[in-house]
Every structure is written in C-alpha cells, then in structure tokens.
Amino acid sequence: MQIFILTISPETFQGPFNCGLFQKAVDKGIVKVDIRNIRDYTHDKHHTTDDSPYGGGAGMVMKPEPIFEAVETIKAELAQQEITGVPVILMTPQGQLFTQAVAQKMNQYENMIIICGQYEGVDERVREHLVTEEISIGDYVLSGGELAAMVVVNAVVRLLPGFLGSPQSLLSESHTDGLLEYPQYTRPQEFRNWAVPDILLSGNHAEIAKWRENQAIIRTKQRRPDMIERAN
C-alpha cells in the first residue's frame, strides 16, 4: 500500500510513523508513506497556503491552487506507473465518521492521497472537484487534520497482511463483529487476591468461546448500547 499525505506540517508525522510496528511495516515494504509539504507546491515569495474567507468572518481558509497542484503532481507520477483512479481523501470534521468498517474498506486501496485540512477549512472547490471522500474521526474539533490522518493510517495499515504477528487477533478484537472485545487475562493466575475466571483455566474451548461471546455482549450492552442496536 502506498499512502501520500499532504500537509503544511510534515514534522508532525515523524513520531508515529518512525517507531514500533509501523516502522517495521515500512521496513518490510508492506506500506510506503510519502509525506509532502503543501508549501512546496506554492509559487509566491511567502509560500502562501491560506487566505481570508470571501464574505468575511474569522479564521483562514486553505487556498485551492497548491492542493490541486500537489494532488495532480502525485497523480501524474502514478499515471507513469499506470496507476489511475486513486482515492483522494480529505480529513475534515465535516466528513463521514471513521469506523472499523471504513478502515476495512480503505484497507483494500492500493494507493491513496490524504489531504490534511487546517484552519477554518479548505476552499470548497477542493471538496467539489478534487476530493473523492471526506473523513472525520469523531465529533470534536482538532486544530488540523494531521492527528486524524495518523489515526486513520494506523487503523488501515495494521489490517494489512503481514503487519500483525498473529492476524487471528484481528478476528476477535473490538468493533470487528460490531461488539466490544471480551475481557482478557494473562499470568499470574492470582494477582493481589484477584483470580482469573476458572472457565479460562478449564481447557474446555467450546465453553470458553461461549463465555467470551457472552462477556462481549454484556460488556457492549453496558458500555455501548448504541452498538447493540446495530449488531445482529
């Protein structure tokens, strides 16, 4: 998978993409991340990426020209490798809510371009004529789309084959089947007088599976009744 990220703040991405499992995935060639500075696609002396809104009002709006030029440059590079139809995703609090189902859909993309919105937003012509999807990570406002892009990229990339040591863990984790995950325990069997549930030590795999399913349902009912309504 190849992910292009357009941002006015490329430094922000240094931490999350350069350590741990993500770095390993890059080293293994599972994912390639190409972070590009939108400023590099400006042509004025001050490398202007934003301007005040027409009609007045507070804040700044991202200008369309550098964003179009950045996306068109990447598309032209990809077209040389006969790659076309690349999704262009805008990170914005106005977008579709990002869920595990959306992560699974995006996990199928071979290539994608992610634009990190900033300030009060981006010029509407970017949404109308360049972007194919808009994504929000939740009902709150961040100062920029960068953190949201990191969240999305992490959730999508960890689903790629070869990312996780034991891919079976993807099957039982929270949100995959519309439920929260059951409680997990590891050694020691007794810690400060708190014991691991007997059933987990029984070796009876059918009973353990039943217990876990039950726990997942109880837990989801208690914490996320909204999810129970949607689960079957």
The H-or-E segment that residue 191 falls in is strand 190-191
Residues in the chain: 232
**Comparison of 8 and 179: residue with beta carbon closer to ligand 6GU:** 8
HEC readout, 38-102:
HHHHCCCCCCCCEECCCCCCCCCEECHHHHHHHHHHHHHHHHHCCCCCCCEEEEEEEEEECCHHH
Among the listed residues 35, 145, 153, 180, the single contact to ligand 6GU using CB under 6 A:
145
Quote the tokens at residue 138: 């939740």
Name the one range near ligand 6GU by CB under 6 A: 20-28, 133-141, 191-199, 218-226: 133-141
* Interaction between residue 92 and ligand 6GU (CB under 6 A): yes
The neighbouring-strand residues paired with 163 are: none
Compute the distance between CA of residue 87 and CA of residue 105 in angstroms, rounded to an integer: 12
| H-assigned helices in the chain | 14-17, 20-27, 64-80, 100-106, 124-129, 146-157, 169-172, 205-223, 225-230
Cα 178 off chain centre by:
18
Position among 6, 38, 74, 91 found at the interface with ligand 6GU (CB under 6 A): 91
Is the Cβ of residue 8 or residue 148 nearer to ligand 6GU in the bound state?
A: 148
- Closer residue to ligand 6GU, CB minimum distance, 111 or 136: 136
Closest approach of ligand 6GU to the CB of residue 12, in Å: 13
Q: Which of 140, 187, 229, 232 binds ligand 6GU (CB under 6 A)?
A: 140
Which residue from 5, 89, 113, 137 is in contact with ligand 6GU, where contact means CB under 6 A?
A: 137
d(CA 135, CA 98): 6
Shortest Cβ distance from residue 146 to ligand 6GU (Å)? 8
Can residue 148 be called a binding residue for ligand 6GU (CB under 6 A)? yes
DSSP symbol at 1: -
Q: Pick the binder of ligand 6GU from 16, 93, 178, 183 (CB under 6 A).
A: 93
Structure token digits, residue 105? 């859909």
Q: 63 or 216, CB closer to ligand 6GU?
A: 63
Q: Which of 141, 168, 192, 225 binds ligand 6GU (CB under 6 A)?
A: 141
Of 26, 142, 199, 217, the residue at the interface with ligand 6GU (CB under 6 A) is 142
Q: Verify binding: residue 155, ligand 6GU, rule CB under 6 A.
A: no
* Cα distance between residue 158 and residue 13, in whole Å: 17
**Binding residue for ligand 6GU, selected from 136, 150, 182, 220, defined by CB under 6 A:** 136
Interface contacts to ligand 6GU, rule CB under 6 A: 91-93, 117, 135-138, 140-142, 144-145, 148
